[in-house]
A and B are shown apart, each in its own frame.
Chain A
Amino acid sequence: MSRLDFEDVTVRYGHHTVLDGVSLTVPEGQIMGLVGESGSGKSTLARAAVGLAPLAGGRVLLDGRPVRHQGRRRPVQMVFQDPFSSLDPRMSIGQSIVEALPERLRRAPRAAEIARLLQLVHLDPARAADAPSRLSGGQRQRVAIARALAGRPAVILADEITSALDVSVQGAILNLVREMQRETGLTVLFISHNLAVVRYVATHVAVMAGGRIVEQGPTARVFSSPASDYTRELLASMPVPAARRHLSQNPI
């Protein structure tokens, strides 16, 4: 189990400051939700942790040591939002997974590893030779999760992984994330704009606005008694079913 620390992380694109001195600790073996609106810097924070966004200041530490962005072993892995662009259309799903394995394996153990990973995300191992185009959105997202797990990471960053999916498969992917985290004890940063989704999967939550963290803490505490005005505003804008609207103003 590992802890991921963002220490005073700043990211600038030109004169535009996307992340403004963000300090955040993703506790080990927990799922931490990261909520906020588009442009608040949620995705950039994840991209900074895997080296896809250049740091203008600060550090990203894994168990107290800077995260490696070189070499075969990458302890921090990421799952992307759009399962239709995150798999190479010209590679079979098995090849995509093999590519992320940290060491080269012979044919037989490699096939066994692919099968293990596909089973872990509830996909039929016989589909390893299929092209992504033969899979549905939910299945592709499962492959993307399997690929992230292939690198035997300590931390997984999940960037809006259900927002491009159909409602009927959202539930299955969320179940999978919870189950996977429980089985492997991984540390997960779960980014989403949907508060209900974060409430369901995450034990801790951080709220971002304008490139800063405005509030963080245990999910139940933050959502039941928010300290920041912005969190309160976010909670108030949740669509409430007409039937329940008169019952309570308190979302938890």
Chain B
Amino acid sequence: MRRDRPEVLRTPVGIVGITLLGVLAVLAVLAPLLWGERATATDTYDILAGPSAQHWAGTDNLGRDIFFRTLVATRLSLVLTLMATTLGVGLGLLLGMAPLLLPRRLGRPVVAFVNLLLGFPSLLMVLFLAVILGVSTTSAVLAIGIAIAPPFARLAHTLGAGVADLDYVAAARISGVHPLRVVVRHVLPNVAEPLVVNATVTASSVLLAFGGLSFLGIGVQPPQYDWGRLMQDGLSSIYTNPLAALVPGIAFVLTGLAFNLTGEAAAGTFGAKARSRARWRPTRTRRVAVRPSRPDEQEDARADVVLDVRDLVVSFPGPCGSISPVRGVSITLRSGEAVGVVGESGSGKSMTALAIAQLIEEPGRVTAERLDFCRTDLRSGSRAATDALLGTSLAVVFQDPMTSLNPVMRIGGQLAEGARRHQGLTRQDAAARAVDRLRAVHLRDPERRARQYPHELSGGMRQRAMIGMGLMGTPRLIVADEPTTALDMTVQRQVLDLLEETRHDHGTALLMISHDVSVVSSICDRVLVMYAGRIVEDLPSADLHTKARHPYTRALIGAVPDMATDLHAPLDTISGHPVDPRHLPVGCAYAARCPLVSERCRQEEPTLEADAIGEVACWHADEPARAETLEAVR
């Protein structure tokens, strides 16, 4: 909490809320000491008087000063509010956490009991309890405390159950940590934020509830007085001296505001932590000199080029200047060609795929020297024209088909939607084609599947439906971003076979992003290895295991066992961490982790040089991998 406080004070709402609370706290402490006597002093010559210079808000039926009585009542009102809130929150926590502590058989009745209590309106509960417990200040505290407990218990239980399912709680439990300690050390701290916010807001409704009880005469009893009591006293003379009821009323409003604003600001702070504050800082973006595509040049050689990307850069705004996860990637893809992109997470491989599919959203920026798809420049074309082209000729398959399919639309409808828009098919034609495409991706009983919702299909079936959606047009290129990572091994095989079949039958080019070298090398002709936003090696996948020259490529392959790995040698490891795109080194980005590193690597960044096998960006490309095995022993 300590580090959140300044954050709360940063918003105007927070400043007002905290300041009001502070003033109230000071009043609660000082007012009875300073003005206690003036508030109880009776003046029988001046009863039920209106406002005057002596008594700003007038006097009551014993001639006591209403303004000072209101100030002095701050203490009792706040103390009672805090007591009832503490009682309610404590009771709520106890009821909410009990199901997590008790064995399942005992926990369920507690949950059911709380649910039952939630059925009664809080106000009814308060009145009911206040009457049963008798008319006194203590019973009012009890009544309100008990009445606010069920909603709080419900909230605590829901939040707590969410955390209790997490692995770290399971880990603590199976290492023999006492259940009570699990709740105190693991569950409560991780649900504290929403509970604190809720408790603050609850406090303001407790204040009001207390006022209500006192006003009805079943709360604070004379000679004690709180704001509710003062309001009731003042109400009888509302026509002669409205201030007598209004002044305590204003106290209610201000205090309620103080609690609510503070709670609001605290809630905002907790929520804001998850959100990024990054905003695009409009630095002067160097406009890359746009050279027109040259259709006449080497026309024959380029006729079957589906995708031609030169010097692709993706950048995002950061707190200190822009960050570029992709820094100058060039890819050429021909019809029917399958190219894989591999690399660690953060290497920029997915960003490259998204940029090609024109799916980078604000505030990201995509620039390139050339970005041609089917010989159309995607950078300059009008939005509508590129949309139509991408809608029919480009298919994108993501890792998780559950999030890329709309959960409330039937599969068939989703497939048909794009075809109706981009190809101008009628409803019937589009629906028929959708069923046909589902059959083409080998979904059994396609008519039935088309009528189903995404959640009714298994992961593999959804991924096939996704590919089927891409096949609604006649795609020239399929961009697949980790298409099989979420799938089982046998299903993975089927999806890979389907991609291969599509490529074979329609001459579709495939750009496949994966962290799994074995998947990529089993289906692709060429493999691009990415590191820190650049391609560091480009080679035929047949040569991947034998002729890789970049130390990073070799380490990537050596780190993952396959069915031929030597069982007696340790696997390769890559020491250190991937490069943070915010702090790129001067020379080769891989230098810090590379076993072949030399002074030159730290000074100069190697460029991608073509040779007999492919392309590689390394100053030591042809040196044997020394020390890598030594490194692996560590």
Contacts and interface: CB of A to CB of B under 8 A. Distances in A.
A144 B166 CA distance: 14
A239 B571 contact: no
B384 to A, nearest CB: 40
B168 interface: yes
Interface in A160-191: 166-172, 174-175, 178-179
A147 interface: yes
A73 B176 contact: yes
Interface stretch (A8-16, A18-26, A104-112, A241-249): A241-249
B185 interface: yes
Given A78-B174, A239-B522, A244 B564 contact: yes
Interface string A223-252: 100000000011011111111110000011
A150 interface: yes
Contact of A239 (B493, B525, B577): B493
B562 A99 contact: no
B632 interface: yes
A241 B518 contact: yes
A196 B517 contact: no
Interface string B507-526: 00000000111110111110
Contacts of A130: none
Given A80-B167, A175-B571, A239 B561 contact: no
Contact of B176 (A74, A80, A199, A245): A74
A60 to B, nearest CB: 13
A77 B174 contact: yes
Nearest to B563: A251
Given A88-B190, A167-B517, A199 B563 contact: yes
Contacts of A237: 489-490, 492-493
A91 B185 contact: yes
A85 B168 contact: yes
Chain A: interface residue count, which band?
Answer: 35 or more
Contacts of A52: 170, 173-174
Give the residue among A52, A76, A179, A238 with the most B Cβ atoms within 10 A. A238
B182 to A, nearest CB: 9
A170 B560 contact: yes
A86 B171 CA distance: 7
A151 B175 contact: yes
Given A37-B490, A73-B176, A200-B561, A174 B571 contact: yes
Nearest to B546: A243
Contact of B186 (A88, A166, A174, A239): A88
A53 to B, nearest CB: 11
A58 to B, nearest CB: 19
Nearest to B558: A171
A38 interface: yes
A74 B175 contact: yes
A88 B565 contact: no
Contacts of A239: 492-493, 496, 516, 518-519, 521-523
A171 B557 CA distance: 10
A196 B563 contact: yes
Give the residue among B524, B525, B574, B634 with the most A Cβ atoms within 10 A. B574
Contact of A243 (B345, B544, B573): B544
Contacts, number: 181
Contacts of A122: 634
A168 B496 contact: no
A193 interface: yes
A77 B175 contact: yes
Contacts of A72: 176
Contacts of B170: 52, 78, 80
Given A87-B168, A199-B563, A239-B496, A50 B571 contact: no
Contact of B167 (A82, A171, A194): A82
A196 B565 contact: yes
Nearest to B593: A168
B323 to A, nearest CB: 19
Given A99-B175, A147-B171, A243-B545, A171 B573 contact: yes
B554 to A, nearest CB: 12
Interface residues of B, number: 60
Nearest to B577: A136
A243 B329 CA distance: 26
Given A85-B167, A237-B489, A244-B564, A150 B175 contact: yes
Interface string B161-180: 00000111011111111000
A168 B563 contact: no
A90 interface: yes
A99 B185 contact: yes
B167 A238 contact: no
A71 interface: yes
A243 B561 CA distance: 16
A108 B46 CA distance: 74
A45 interface: no
B563 A102 contact: no
A96 to B, nearest CB: 8
Contacts of B523: 239, 242
Given A50-B174, A237-B492, A200 B521 contact: no
Interface in B517-537: 517-519, 521-525
A236 to B, nearest CB: 8
Nearest to A72: B176
A179 B53 CA distance: 88
Contacts of A171: 558-561, 570-573, 632
Given A72-B176, A200-B565, A38 B488 contact: yes
Contacts of B167: 80-82, 85-86
A180 B556 CA distance: 23
A66 interface: no
A85 B562 CA distance: 28
Nearest to B573: A172
Contacts of A115: none
A100 to B, nearest CB: 4
Contacts of B171: 78, 80, 86-87, 100, 144, 147
Given A223-B563, A251-B563, 7 more contacts: A175-B570, A175-B573, A196-B560, A197-B561, A200-B565, A242-B521, A244-B545
Interface of A: 37-38, 50-52, 71-74, 76-78, 80-82, 85-91, 96, 99-100, 102, 122, 136, 144, 147-148, 150-151, 166-172, 174-175, 178-179, 193-197, 199-200, 223, 233-234, 236-245, 251-252
25 contacts: A52-B173, A71-B176, A77-B174, A78-B171, A85-B167, A88-B189, A89-B190, A99-B172, A136-B577, A148-B175, A166-B578, A167-B344, A168-B556, A170-B559, A194-B489, A195-B489, A234-B489, A237-B490, A239-B492, A239-B496, A239-B519, A239-B523, A241-B541, A242-B521, A242-B542
